[in-house]
Amino acid sequence: MKKLLLDENVAIKIKGELIQLGYDVFHINDDKKGIPDEEVFKKALEEQRILITGDDDFKASKFKYKTAIIWITPKSRFCEGIVEKIDWIIENINKYNIDINKAFISVRSDKFHIEYIKKNGIFSKITEKEIEFTRIKKKTKNKKN
């Protein structure tokens, strides 16, 4: 089961929808509201959770910590199907040879913008890729793990 950590600026209703899809979800507001960003990162790392946030500070620190981050842009926070889009990213990112744990993913209104660390021998570089929402198919039933 994939584990997610929702930052306090992510709507609480998203938690319930992600749980229905089979995710283990912890929302910062569950018991740690107002904690510093450093502690949010630490919790995500320690519990091996994918961090989902809308906080611009996390965008600035995208590769400072070795954790997967899905950043929801301000324009897309309330867009239709945001939960399905997050689910699609988590379930399909590896099909693009991208390790989600080394990626910073921006959910935009019309596409995902992915920045990830790609190794070529001993060298690493940040690579970018965009995937349009038109590739996403809606789920009709709960996932089974």
Rounded Cα distance, 100 and 79, in Å:
23
Average pLDDT over all residues of the chain: 82
Specify the pLDDT at position 25: 97
Helix, strand counts (H, E) of the chain: 4, 7
95-122 confidence digits (pLDDT tens): 888 888 888 899 987 888 888 877 665 5
31-47 confidence digits (pLDDT tens): 878 888 889 988 999 99
Confidence of residue 90 (pLDDT cuts 50, 70, 90): very high
pTM beyond 0.85, yes or no: no
